[in-house]
Structure 1
């Protein structure tokens, strides 16, 4: 049977990221983004092979952008597209794995929207547009939260009255599950261990950041909670703060709930601490030039990350390795080094040359000989979504 092609779609409120994944090739046949959708300057950008191109699509909505994308996909796939995999951020407790999309799945995603108001409605826009354009093609929803549905109750429950959990679903769900699952699988392969018989700590570090404890192929704890705001300091998100901060800011400054939410989600993290940027590359350059805010932001980021990893080690029977992934995790030897320095009690130590070598897509072991494994593993959420889609096509 010839290798199959899966179109992977990740819809935001005003953007569509896409990749055409062939099961036999590691490189994407086509990838790109439609951005600023709904605006006069809407733009479709794509890369095919070594070639890059773009097309203005003024005022295009999600459906119009996908319609423009269709000929490009068909051309790159040689006319043979076998299915579409959609990233969906929140599956609640309903979805523990990927699902073929039908009316009931659509309704369940819609019902979960209050748990992810910024993400699920946007994901639905993409799904509904794709269903109209490709009505006969198998389409699959792959949920960010699904991998974490194996958390034990003592890890996912908040210390709140039970009725809030039973009646309103208030619990820890976790995110970045597709990435944590992919990199822990790859780490086991790299280490020559069985995925189903190994234990990992994983740090997915990008503009959004989370950690995960993975035991025998299952998520046992993770840093994000009901929403992606819980846990680590991130690009613009605060991560954990005193739960009473909302009331304090309201009483002392008169701030509204909307103003506080904007502060915690869009004005905090690396950006808030540095007063400069949410981009780690910019902060590292500024740190080298003596910028106090950038220096502090990096120190807080690494300390909070190490603290989270140490806490999640409680969920492991043993440590087979620590994984760094995501844009920062794959490209910042400084962040990896500073984080591991805080984890002396786990006996972690980095090889300086190996750490410096693992940037820009280079995977590998970066630990000092005789110490527990530390691996840099580039993530590939699009390929994992495509693999999940293919698995469902086979059944």
Structure 2
């Protein structure tokens, strides 16, 4: 390809920022990042926004390379045939290549009353709104957190550490990702903080009112503030734009993260579904996928075949208040094992991980191409081969 190449990145989260910075390795590439906010959000700290211990906001001037043009707007539609995106405010932005990194947000609760009376927490504005609600509630007010993944656990612990009366409603098991041994450790810490944990199918939420949470076994829990942390969903931009997606709306790609519909569209982060085998939605996944998406675009510009993804995992860090955490160790294929680090040491590891992620973005802005990911997962290729063999049998 000769001449200047215009690349548009939709989404300014971990994946989008890393991809945008990495693309500036070439002087003949013009990068435009489109994001609805003017500041970068440390999404892994949103529970701290609710607790009041962190703003979770970083100026884009600190994490974006000087050659990345920031457009504060929302993309309303992608015109793949015309190689342009329509903006919500009007007008269009053309591209030669597009990186789709729109991330994820709160899932539709689909529980009567939840949308009206419960407070989601998946995006900055939701967390800020909830912080105001919590501040306005009496110190003795009952707080119910629905959802026992990392977000629910961290939010419950953050508020309980401040003396709030918190009930964590799991609907299933506490920390579904965690190994049973690690789960018991987390439960012990939550109990020490005063969090009441309700597990099992009887603890599934069936309805939410202005002052109660109704459970499957007929119980009605008093709840002055109900926080909804039960799952994530991706924006429907790809679906609305006529692109192929999985059942959750993530953009379907091959193993190079290239859209199955258009080789000029590449996905990264929570909104990508490579080979219809998406990786876990997390900051841990977003960064290497963002880097790989940029590498795929750069390879296509130079006429080189892009490489397949190879992303492994180390586990999961879960904050348990400001003074403790759990670092669940996992195999590179993201299977949790019985090993973990807990207490103050884990809290220090988690904090360093959170600050380290921002530093990675800053370093990539200053030295594009510097980000590396040491964790690899060879099992994915085996699973992919098995999936293709099974598909061939059923043709």
With normalisation by structure 1, the TM-score equals 0.26
Bigger proportion of residues as strand: 2
With normalisation by structure 2, the TM-score equals 0.26
Bigger proportion of residues as helix: 1
Instruction: Flag the structure with more relative contact order, 1 or 2, with Cα contacts below 8 A and sequence separation at least 6.
Output: 2
